[in-house]
């Protein structure tokens, strides 16, 4: 793999799990690990008699050990747990130390050791690979981070009670801080998924893996969203989400301990991966997965005479034999499509481009969100990284100070600048000219042109919006208010949204 800028952020790159990958397996009563190749059959791991397979990526020995140890201590039957972990093997000493540290743990362990490759950007793929080599006998599967802990004692006994909660074994248990959230659009599934859901093995096997792209929790939230909407507005829902309150997890924060440079890189990659999830081809894949679960539920509750899958048309044709005498010579056909309207989806996606609205809880103007979107997605540059470089560069410090003075001047002239900002965003145009190259500035202008177009259309369709716009210009109405902020755990950030 070439180590250039394009390859570094290539979101279509596929990791080969067989490339220098070693599988280390230890049963709960073993004292040491045995090694295999990734695809090698292994009875101890393939048919481990486990209640749940817990999957995570890690390169931190202490965090992994502490995480597993706490899960074990709070369980009644640690021999019924399987932990599947991916680590890097670029350093043989690290692998040896990792195995040595985890060997005394009295539980079932499966560790995949492979080259680091491109690192964080590809970690989501290893969740799929770990799932495929996890025990076929595990009833439940869960994806966590190495910083998570379970809060309740005998949590495995409580989890065991949920076996066969649905007779068809197709469901997931919601346990995260977002477990009581209802989702009204697909954007919410991207930025606020149920991060610690517990899935039945069958629920995931029908889909073949966790997700076709980043990330495992977001992907499954998309599937759950489409599944809940499939029968709308009929009374019956195919939703298989169940909130439980007797099992919960701590340590659900992310990006802990990262340096400023690493944090900016992580935020950039996260945003690229986030945007990638919303591509039409992936959304139709999530829709298809929801249809497959729906069809499996239908099979368990009725007799299907014939099932036809027309992949080109992206539709399932379900044929039922009629039970009524006067319908004897005619079959009932139901068409179940998973095709998404391209034009409607494009317009919907364009309207929702705002980095700050969908990625943070900060109250920032739409145009600032668009500038960040262009910088991150198209130029692969983190805006804060640019600012920090300019501050450190003596040659550019004079330009930076001049820009800052103009910014402060415009802020003082609030009455004038706010009026002009609706027609021509002077402050943000200055930032765009300074921080973007020609390509980026052109993209910004295109986005802003469409922004004005949508404002115009909104005024034509909803004349009452003129009152709100005038109110914004003269009264400086606050659209939202940040009550509390937590950069580590976004779920603890409270943003009050106004009308």
Angle made by CA atoms 117, 119, 190, in degrees to the nearest 5: 135
Banded pLDDT at 202 (limits 50, 70, 90)? very high
351 preceded by cis ω (within 30°)? no
Answer with the residue of higher pLDDT: 474 or 276.
Answer: 276
- Asked whether 89 and 22 are in contact (CB, 8 A), the reply is yes
Which pTM value belongs to this model? 0.80
> Is 80 exceeded by the pLDDT of residue 105?
yes
Nearest residue to 158 via CA among 50, 75, 243: 75
Buried b (16+ CB within 10 A) or exposed e, 217-242: bbbbbbbbbbbbbbeeeeeeebebbe
> Is 50 exceeded by the pLDDT of residue 416?
no
> Is 90 exceeded by the pLDDT of residue 463?
no
Per 3-state DSSP, what percentage of the chain is helix, strand, and coil (rounded to 5)? 50, 15, 35
Torsion of CA 60, 65, 67, 73, to 10 degrees: 180
Domains of the chain by start residue, with CATH: 5-212+221-254 (3.90.550), 357-497 (no CATH)
**Strand 81-88 relative to strand 108-114, pairing:** parallel
When pLDDT is averaged across residues 411-428 and rounded to a whole number, the result is: 51
Report the Cα 474 to chain-centroid distance in Å: 40
Q: What is the pLDDT of residue 344?
A: 87
Please count the other Cβ atoms lying within 10 Å of the Cβ belonging to residue 425. 22
52 pairs with which residues across the strands? 81, 140
- Kindly report which listed range (134-148, 331-345, 408-422) carries the lowest average pLDDT score: 408-422
Answer with the residue of higher pLDDT: 361 or 103.
Answer: 103
CA-to-CA distance for 196 and 207, rounded, in angstroms? 18
CA-to-CA distance for 103 and 93, rounded, in angstroms? 15
């Amino acid at each position: 793999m070439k180590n250039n800028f394009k390859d570094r952020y290539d979101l279509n790159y596929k990791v080969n799990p067989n490339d220098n990958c070693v599988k280390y397996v230890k049963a709960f009563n073993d004292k040491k690990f045995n090694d295999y190749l990734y695809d090698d059959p292994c009875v101890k791991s393939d048919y481990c008699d486990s209640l749940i397979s817990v999957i995570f990526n890690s390169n931190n020995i202490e965090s992994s050990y502490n995480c597993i140890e706490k899960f074990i201590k709070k369980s009644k039957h640690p021999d019924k747990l399987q932990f599947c972990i991916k680590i890097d093997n670029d350093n043989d000493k690290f692998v040896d130390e990792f195995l040595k540290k985890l060997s005394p743990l009295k539980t079932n362990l499966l560790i995949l050791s492979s080259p680091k490759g491109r690192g964080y950007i590809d970690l989501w793929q290893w969740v799929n690979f770990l799932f495929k080599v996890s025990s076929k006998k595990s009833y439940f599967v869960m994806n966590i981070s190495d910083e998570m802990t379970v809060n309740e004692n005998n949590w495995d006994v409580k989890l065991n009670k949920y076996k066969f909660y649905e007779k068809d074994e197709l469901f997931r248990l919601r346990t995260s801080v977002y477990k009581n959230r209802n989702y009204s659009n697909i954007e919410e599934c991207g930025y606020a998924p149920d991060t610690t859901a517990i899935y039945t093995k069958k629920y995931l096997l029908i889909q073949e893996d966790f997700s076709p792209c980043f990330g495992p929790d977001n992907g499954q939230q998309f599937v759950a969203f489409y599944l809940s909407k499939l029968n709308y507005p009929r009374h019956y829902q195919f939703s298989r989400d169940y909130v439980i309150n007797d099992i919960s997890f701590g340590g659900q924060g992310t990006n802990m301990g990262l340096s400023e440079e690493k944090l900016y890189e992580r935020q950039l990659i996260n945003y690229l991966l986030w945007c990638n999830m919303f591509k039409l081809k992936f959304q139709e894949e999530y829709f298809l997965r929801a249809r497959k679960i729906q069809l499996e539920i239908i099979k368990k509750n009725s007799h299907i005479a014939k099932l036809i899958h027309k992949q080109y048309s992206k539709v399932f044709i379900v044929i039922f034999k009629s039970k009524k005498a006067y319908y004897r010579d005619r079959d009932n056909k139901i068409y179940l499509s998973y095709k998404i309207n391209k034009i409607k989806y494009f317009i919907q996606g364009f309207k929702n481009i705002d980095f700050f609205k969908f990625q943070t809880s900060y109250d920032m103007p739409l145009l600032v969100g668009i500038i960040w979107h262009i910088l991150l997605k198209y130029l692969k540059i983190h805006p804060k990284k640019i600012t920090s470089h300019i501050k450190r560069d003596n040659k550019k410090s004079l330009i930076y100070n001049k820009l800052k003075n103009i910014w402060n001047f415009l802020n003082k002239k609030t009455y004038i600048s706010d009026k002009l900002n609706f027609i021509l965003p002077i402050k943000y145009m200055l930032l765009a000219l300074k921080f973007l190259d020609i390509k980026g500035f052109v993209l910004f202008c295109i986005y802003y042109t469409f922004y004005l177009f949508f404002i115009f259309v909104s005024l034509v369709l909803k004349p009452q919006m003129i009152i709100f716009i005038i109110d914004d210009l003269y009264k400086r109405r606050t659209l939202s208010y940040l009550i509390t902020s937590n950069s580590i755990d976004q779920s603890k950030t409270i943003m009050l949204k106004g009308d």
